Each structure stands twice: as C-alpha cells, then as structure tokens.
Structure 1
Amino acid sequence: MLYSVFNPMLYLYIKAVHIIFVITWMAGLFYMVRLFIYHTEAKQKPEEEYAVLHRQFVIMESKLWWIITTPSMYLAVLAGLSLLYIVPGLLETGWMHVKLVFVLGLVTYHFVCQRIMLRLRDETSRWTSIRLRLWNELATVLLFAIVFAVVLKSAINWIYGVLGLLLLSVMLMLAVRWYKKIRER
C-alpha cells in the first residue's frame, strides 16, 4: 500500500468509520426489504386491517430509510472516498476496481429499494413477496463479493470467485423457493 503524507492513524480512524457505516447501511437494506415483504403480504388481509398495516409500514419504512439507511450509505461512501483521497495508490489496484464495481451495484440496489418504498407507499408496487425475497438475496451476493474482494485483494482467483458467487446465488434462490413451498403447505 502506498502511504500518503497524512497521519496513518487518520487513515485507520476513517477506515473504522467506513466499516461502521457499511454495517449500518447493510442492516438498513436487509431490514428494509424485509419490511417490503411484510408490507406486500399485508395486502392479503381484510381491507380495514390492511389500511392500518399500510399506514404503519409507510411510517416504519420512511423512518428506517431516511434516518438510518440513506445517511449510512452517504457516510460509508464519503468515508470510502476519503480513504481513496488519503491513499490514492489504492486506485491502482485491481481488487479496488472490482470492489468499486460491486459498490456501484450496491448503490444502484439502494436506489431501486427507494423506488420500491415509494411505490409501496403510493400503493402502485407490482413486486410480489417472492420477488422481493429474491431481491433481498441480491444484497447478500453483493456483500459477499465486496468482502471477498477486500479480504483476498490480489489473491482473487477469478474463476473460483465467479463460480462461487454463481453457486451462492443459485443456493439462495433455491432456499427462497424451498421456503415458498413450505409456506404454501
């Protein structure tokens, strides 16, 4: 790693802040999609019960999104960019390029979730609970990809890495389908 002119302790503090906000961002994304699933399944309730549940889910989703999840995303990205500013040599490494591609995927995932939240609020969402369960697993795959890129760095074996992510994706999709069959019984 190329050292910058800044204090190395500053780098470590910012790195700790980055990790903390990545964790809170991911927790928010995971819980948000779980709320979407419950919100969507509430449509099967009687109309009066759904109206009460809908109002409550809109409040819960809004607070989680605007107070925890979105600020955490911005702070995680800001801290990550600060790390790149302090140690610009990181941008010369292949693993960082891989990580940044997956992070871009996660940011896109974040904004798609925001659109889902707004459509659920307006009662115009067409997402089913099964589709949302599969959507939730995409965040898991992105998280795995980012962590493995960071931990393994240049030791990434692309063939095994890609095959591993594909296998993880297939396993998660099969688990969701298996869960659906159990629920239908």
Structure 2
Amino acid sequence: MAGMLGNAYLWVKAAHLIFVIFWMAGLFMLPRYLVYHQEALAGAGGDAALWVEREHKIRTIILTPAMIVVWVLGLLLAANAGLFSGGAGLGWLHLKLLLVVILTGYHGWAVGYARKLKAGKPTLTGRRLRMINEVPAVLVTFIVILAIVQPF
C-alpha cells in the first residue's frame, strides 16, 4: 500500500506507531498524576505544587508534541489509503478517526482538569477520576482492532 508515500510508507507508518506509543504513555500517566495531585490537595503536605510542575512537563515534553505528530502522520497515512479521494472500503478508518478525535478530546479534558487542580478547584471525586483514567485504554483497544483487523 505504497500509494502517494511510495517507499516512505513503511517509515511513516513506523513513525506514526512510535508516536502513538509516546502519546498513549502520556495519556496513561497524566490522569494518574491528576489523581495524585487531587490527593495532595486534600492532604496537608505541599506536594500539590510538585504535581503542577510534573503535569506541565509531561504535557509539554511528551503528551502534546506526540499527539501533534500522531495527527500529522496519521492524516498522511489516511490520505495514502485514499480517505480524501473517496477510496472504497474505508469504514474502519472513518470509525478509527472518530475514536482518535474522542481520544484527542480526552487529552484536552485532562489538560483542562490539570488547570482546575492547579487553581485548587477539583470537581470530581477520587473514585470518578480513577474511573475516567480507563478511557484511553478502552479507546486505544478499539482503535488498534480497527487498524489491524479493518473489519469493514
């Protein structure tokens, strides 16, 4: 499936997968950091400021740059597959892109919740926050299945 990318296709695909792994690592870590940050707010210790710094670093060094690269390379791969030229049999890709949009929204929510915690204004219980942490795992499970199996 070289398409418009020619011999670069496998390199672009490999880079896309590498940055997906980086993005997912960040999406697994940041929500866990949010739990610890929220617990630090409830405690008497001064750890909350440390969590603000940690959240900022993971966001600016790993999470957001990886997401941007994932989107750029993913759209290149989608174009290569014929998404923008009306290629047939790409229903799986449409659904995959929808799930990636939702995952991107989750990324934005996590960044926004970090800002709430920085301001000392948590709005979720610890239990609910822990449950929300599972969203990326569920979404990436379906995304991988769609990308590998291409069921429709």
Alignment partner, residue 161 of structure 1: none
Gaps of 5+ in 1: 157-185
Query: How do 1:94-173 residues align onto structure 2 when only pairs under 5 Å count?
Result: 94-154=91-151
Following TM superposition, by how much is the alpha carbon of 1:12 offset from its aligned partner in structure 2, in angstroms? 0.6
Letter in 2 for 1:123: G
For the structure 1 residues 5 and 73, does the alpha-carbon distance in structure 2 shift closer, same or farther, using more than 3 Å as the test? closer
Following TM superposition, by how much is the alpha carbon of 1:89 offset from its aligned partner in structure 2, in angstroms? 5.1
Letter in 2 for 1:66: T
CA–CA separation in structure 2 for the residues paired with 1:153 and 1:5 = 21
1:15-36 CA-partner distances (Å, limit 9, x unpaired): 1110011110010011000000
Q: TM-score, normalised by structure 2?
A: 0.91
**Residue-pair matches, total:** 149
CA–CA separation in structure 1 for the residues paired with 2:65 and 2:57 = 11
Match 2:50 to one of 44, 53, 56: 56
1:97-120 CA-partner distances (Å, limit 9, x unpaired): 111111111011110111101111
Q: TM-score, normalised by structure 1?
A: 0.75
1:121-159 CA-partner distances (Å, limit 9, x unpaired): 1112212211111111111110111011111102x6xxx
Q: Is the radius of gyration larger for structure 1 or structure 2?
A: 1
For the structure 1 residues 97 and 127, does the alpha-carbon distance in structure 2 shift closer, same or farther, using more than 3 Å as the test? same
Letter in 2 for 1:63: K
Please state whether the residue corresponding to 2:123 is helix, strand or coil.
coil
Alpha carbons 2:27, 2:107 under 8 Å: kept:
yes
- Following TM superposition, where does structure 1 have runs of at least 4 consecutive aligned residues deviating by more than 4 angstroms? none
Alpha carbons 2:27, 2:63 under 8 Å: kept:
yes
Of 83-92 and 106-115, the range deviating more from structure 2: 83-92
Gaps of 5+ in 2: none
CA–CA separation in structure 2 for the residues paired with 1:16 and 1:24 = 13
Alignment partner, residue 81 of structure 1: 75
1:159-180 CA-partner distances (Å, limit 9, x unpaired): xxxxxxxxxxxxxxxxxxxxxx
Letter in 2 for 1:59: E
